[in-house]
Copies of this chain bind each other. A is one copy, B any other.
Amino acid sequence: MSGWVAIAGLGPGSDLMVTPEVTAALAEATDVVGYIPYVARVAGREGLTLHPTDNRVELDRAAHALSMAAEGRRVVVVSSGDPGVFAMASAVFEALEAGPVAWRDLDIRVLPGITAMLAAAARAGAPLGHDFCAINLSDNLKPWVLIEKRLRLAAEADFAMAFYNPRSRSRPEGFARALEVLREACGDARPVIFARAISTPEETLRVVPLTEAEPEMADMRTMVIVGSSQTRIIERAGAPIVYTPRGVAG
């Protein structure tokens, strides 16, 4: 039996956003590896071993997946959203690069998924319909000064911005500081979208002007999207539509 690793994205939460490719990989797997709440989304069955692990052990988890595949097992590493966006794919390749050379011959595939910013954008309208950037606001793995530099340059480039991991209990001050930097750099009341737990029963969506955005509006399940200077709001009876037009006048 020939082992493999598939690093698969489960999308933002709803099974209706899991691709058939990911569903097929899970059906063939002997082992599923991932963070506890993501592994909990995979139905157990005869012949399938679930390996849920805690947060912040990504490299151990990745090495475990690779070593099982080297033993001939068919391993799916699950991420929420897309595995290539602030998720497990980079961790697996870090472990691969640091591990035994023989691992490089393994059959490794990345199966894309609906990443949180695109699910959030879809619910709000089309705020990422023009040029944009995606920034992880967690300073676990990079210095805060780099985050701040990127925020200022992204504002100068007039990108719409999608923020992953805006705020955690262990470092609540980071997102407050990010909002300050954005208010200085943007200097206007452009829309900020707080999209929480999109496509799950706990889904909420809130749109406020940047001038009224508060750190408490986000938690670790919230995706934050800040429009560019061109982003528009269409008011209507229900939730407003937030979208960025395709063009910028010359």
Give chain A's interface residues, CB within 8 Å of chain B.
Answer: 11, 14-21, 24, 58, 82-87, 89-94, 96-97, 104-105, 108-115, 118-119, 121-123, 125-136, 140-143, 146, 149-150, 153-154, 156-159, 232, 234-237, 241, 243-248, 250
Given A93-B243, A97-B234; A143-B248 close (CB under 8 Å): yes
CA distance A156 to B153 in the complex (A): 8
Q: How many copies does the complex hold?
A: 2
- Determine whether the beta carbon of B129 is less than 8 Å from that of A246: no
Given A90-B244, A90-B246, A248-B146; A85-B129 close (CB under 8 Å): yes
Q: Which chain B residues lie closer than 8 Å to A250 at the CB level?
A: 142-143
Contact of A94 among B82, B237, B246 (CB under 8 A): B246
CA distance A23 to B127 in the complex (A): 24
Nearest CB of B to A233, in Å: 9
Nearest CB of B to A133, in Å: 4
- Determine whether the beta carbon of A17 is less than 8 Å from that of B21: yes
